[in-house]
Amino acid sequence: MSLLDFLHEYDQSLLIALGEHLRLVGIALLIAVAAGVPTGAWIARGEHRAGPVLLAANIIQTIPSIALFGLMIPILAMVNHGIGFLPAVIALILYAQLPVIRNTRVALRAIPPATLDAARGLGMTERQIFLRVALPLAAPGIVAGIRIAATMSIGVAAVAAYIGAGGLGIFIVRGIQTTWDMMTIAGAVGIALLTLVVEIALGIVQRMLTPKGLRVRGGGR
């Protein structure tokens, strides 16, 4: 069976798996950004808070994904959600915290104090300054963090197929179990391609969000 025959035969299940994969990663990222960006902004304002928060995020990040699943399943099993979507989405949210929080903090702290003073001088409130000056200027840096989180999440979501969360990892699971290389390769190539597409797409978003005056390449006049 050639690769093309395989793709033809399994196009439906590949599409379903891709949809599951995107849904898992998408939901996790939305929640991760909603939690991580405010946390990053919070620690950017108080440097004494940065140490403990980043340390905690770093410890979570260091725990290997399959080990995190192995630790979470027995705990979530107590509320009858040991395997499936829930542990996968929680793990993805936890992993995404470090890049999102760290990049938000760095991007906000990189804004020149003079810019913020100028906004204050114009009579803007703190809230207006944050939403209309700081956040737009920090946006490319924040998106860079989301980009790292996204590629990482796609990889962890692949492993989550082993705990019943579905997604493209299913092809790797089945391929390895049945020693059918074609299936394994279809899953691996699908995940790798998805990662590359998302990585490049978010790179473009990052470039577009960069204010014209700050663009180094391809921007300007």
Residue ranges binding another protein (CB under 8 A): 59, 62-71, 73-74, 77, 82-83, 151, 154-156, 158-159, 162-163, 169, 172, 175-176, 181, 184-185, 187-189, 191-192, 195-196, 199
Our CB check for another protein shows the closer of 83 and 111 to be 83
Our CB check for another protein shows the closer of 24 and 129 to be 24
Our CB check for another protein shows the closer of 166 and 169 to be 169
Our CB check for another protein shows the closer of 122 and 193 to be 193
Q: How far is CA 129 from CA 33, 107, 141, in A?
A: 20, 15, 18
Q: How far is CA 70 from CA 65, 78, 97, 172, in A?
A: 9, 14, 20, 19
d(CA 82, CA 78): 7
Output the smallest distance, CB 187 to another protein, in A: 6
Output the smallest distance, CB 157 to another protein, in A: 9
Output the smallest distance, CB 156 to another protein, in A: 8
Our CB check for another protein shows the closer of 31 and 66 to be 66
Residues 6+ apart with CB under 8 A from 159: 65, 66, 69, 169
Output the smallest distance, CB 173 to another protein, in A: 9
Residue type, position 167, single letter: G
Output the smallest distance, CB 182 to another protein, in A: 8
Q: How far is CA 137 from CA 64, 101, 107, 185, in A?
A: 34, 16, 8, 42
- The CA-based diameter of the chain, rounded to the nearest angstrom, is 70
